Amino acid sequence: MDWILEFFQHFPPLARLSLAFFLVLVVPMMCQRFSLPAVVGLLIAGVVIGPYGLKIIPRNPVVGNFLSELGKLMLMMFAGIEIDHALFRRVWKRSLLFGLCTFLLPLLAGVAVGFLFGYYWVAALLIGSLLASHTLLGFPITQQLGIAGSDPVSVTTGATIFTDVASLLILAICLPIHMSGFSPQSLIWQLVLLLGYVPLVIVGIGKLGAWLMPRFSGAADREFGLVLFLMILASFGAELIHLEPIIGAFMVGLAIGPVTRHAKGFEHFEFIGQSFFIPIFFLSIGFHIDLGVFAGTLIDNAPLVVAVVAGLILAKLAAALVTQRMYRFTTLEGLLMWSLSLPQVAATLAAALVAFNTYDKQGQRLIDEPLLNTIIVLMVVTSILGPVLTERFATRISRLDQTERGKVIA
């Protein structure tokens, strides 16, 4: 066994890169065959080839870390771009209510869990923010079944804007407090910078993109370069005011979404991001996971894992049921909204990793390794459970709709 590990450790750089390409190509296909999210498979592959597995990838790979950072920024920018502004304007009132419920209840549950397990208030608040957002992993299922335009799905889609933005804003406040300590003056100053930065990106960079994109139309390479430039500009601007770059990437995606969604250059940019840089980011997360330590922390911190996972599931269910009662949706429609708002995948994992790598003056992390491992477990559980439940509830709703249409025709 030792000679195998030694052989892998001496892989030349190009061989490592070709292996990464191979895994990025093959792993999602295998996951699709077994109905598993590609993120889960890439994480496992990262563990296998990482420094705690076969040691093919060394500790702190410079090129890998750079590619991973780009993938993380692209991931957050695409999350902002995917938000449908027109849809949100149509259902914004109901989406706002559901967004508030599905944000506040998990936030409070996460804060309570944080305090219960001895985390200080900034870490507890951050735990709450990690549970408060959601990823619409089950949305393609509703498209396939023809109910993507239904009210409960539209309301849940619109609520994504509120939950994602609010969660990232809490992250933006927690990080500098942990690094520099809490003081009313610094908090007020950070909020002022945040309140200035957000409209500057959404309005300023949004208008810049809207003005430049038509002038580059027909030149895919220039459109590609423009999107990359705007993403880096917003991320760099976030760093200047001590915000995490992923916040800038998300905000610029939100700003330029309407003008870039159908641009040829953006299609190329999205293709490269989705097919290479973002998978590399998920692979790189696996590099940091020591399976022995991971299993040990889960066993030693089983109550924390159960509390976080159960807290999220129950809080999201409560939020969906409150909205269902308020707007008189059927029970099935309420359950569908719950299942769509369950998955915690891309944005949650990226934010958790940022918090894990944030240190205070004494060298203490904002969240520790047991909590990071718990978030990974949460991601695996919800990314599987959410789509499975969505398919079940959406199929039943689709059949009922077909039955009702049949009765009308008859």
CATH of residue 338's domain is 1.20.1530.20
- In this structure, what token pair is assigned to residue 164? 């994602």
Inter-residue contact 286 to 50 (CB < 8 Å): yes
Question: Which residues sit opposite 365 in a β-bridge?
Answer: 359
**Measured distance CA(319)–CA(139) in Å, rounded:** 19
Residue-number span of the structural domain to which 240 is assigned:
2-409
Asked if the model's pLDDT at residue 374 lies above 70, the reply is yes
**Measured distance CA(67)–CA(201) in Å, rounded:** 24
pLDDT in tens, 297-332: 778 889 999 999 999 999 999 999 999 998 888 999
378: left (phi over 0), alpha (psi -120 to 50) or beta: alpha
- In this structure, what token pair is assigned to residue 358? 């944030």
**Measured distance CA(286)–CA(308) in Å, rounded:** 21
Please give the single-letter amino acid code of residue 320.
A
Predicted confidence band of residue 408 (pLDDT cuts 50, 70, 90): very low
Long-range contacts of 221-229 (CB under 8 A, 24+ apart): 221/265, 222/265, 223/260, 223/263, 223/264, 223/265, 223/266, 223/269, 224/265, 224/266, 224/268, 224/269, 225/265, 226/265, 227/256, 227/260, 227/263, 227/265, 227/266, 227/269, 228/269
- In this structure, what token pair is assigned to residue 95? 């989406």
Give me the mean pLDDT over the 213-225 stretch: 81
Most confident among 147-161, 269-283, 287-301 (mean pLDDT): 269-283
Strand, coil or helix: 298: helix
How many structural domains does the chain have? 1
Q: Is 264 exposed, middle or buried (0-12, 13-18, 19+ CB in 10 A)?
A: middle
pLDDT in tens, 344-369: 876 687 788 888 888 888 888 998 88
Predicted confidence band of residue 4 (pLDDT cuts 50, 70, 90): low
Q: Is 84 exposed, middle or buried (0-12, 13-18, 19+ CB in 10 A)?
A: middle
Q: What is the pTM of this model?
A: 0.72
Residue with the bigger pLDDT between 88 and 193: it is 193
* Whole-number Cα distances in Å, 363 to 65, 141, 356, 359, 379: 21, 44, 12, 5, 27
Helical H runs in 200-329? Answer: 206-215, 220-240, 245-260, 264-272, 278-287, 291-300, 302-327
